[in-house]
Amino acid sequence: MIQTTNSATVSVSIDNSASTWTYALVEATAPVHVHPNGTVAVQCDSGSWTVTYRMESTRFQLFSAIINTNTSEINTLTDFNQIVGLSFDPNVNDAAPGDTFISTASFGFLNLGGNTVSPVGMSFSLMARTVENLHVIISHDPQVKNGEVMD
């Protein structure tokens, strides 16, 4: 991952039915806003960012993401020149049933240009899998973008 100016860590959890994803800000080096759908908004001109989604679970592991490339989809951000790195750590080494896994998905975001009316960023779907039988669960489309940061 390329070194960035700022960082934010967002916790991710999936309910037992695997139908609801929830997100919460853990820490950030500058103001950010985490929306209920997992979108992370950073301030325009606040420098580059590494946004890490972190899951701690006995049942699920983050292991990948699908970057949305459909430029015609409404509210989808596909500013690929803003991506400066992607990194995934599913933490599957020496795994045993019942262990708690800490898995991460990190996105490097350049954060150049854009404004609150027309933000720049990227839309994606996080991918998680169940630990025991490797069923894949895909999130809705969160985003990493710049724009207005609400308290």
On whether the pTM is more than 0.85, the answer is yes
- Please give the Cα distance from 102 to 60 (Å, whole number): 9
- Model confidence over 8-55: pLDDT tens digits? 999 999 998 878 999 999 999 999 999 999 999 999 889 999 999 999
Res 35: pLDDT: 93
Q: Give residue limits of the domains in the chain.
A: 6-146
Assigned CATH topology for domain 6-146: Immunoglobulin-like (2.60.40)
* Residues shown for the chain: 151
Q: What is the pLDDT of residues 88-99, one digit of tens each?
A: 988 766 667 678
Is there a contact between 139 and 126 (Cβ–Cβ < 8 Å)? yes
Residue (of 10, 12, 130, 128) closest to 64 by Cα position: 128
**For 71-93, how does the pLDDT look when each residue is reduced to its tens digit (9 = 90+)?**
777 667 878 888 888 999 887 66
Q: Cα(64)–Cα(100) distance, rounded to whole angstroms?
A: 19
Q: Return the pLDDT at 94.
A: 63
Asked if the model's pLDDT at residue 106 lies above 90, the reply is yes
Q: Give the side-chain half-sphere CA count within 13 A for 84.
A: 16
Residue 121 main-chain phi, psi, to 5 deg: 165, -160
User: Which DSSP letter does residue 78 get?
Assistant: B
Q: In the predicted model, what is the mean pLDDT of residues 53-73?
A: 86
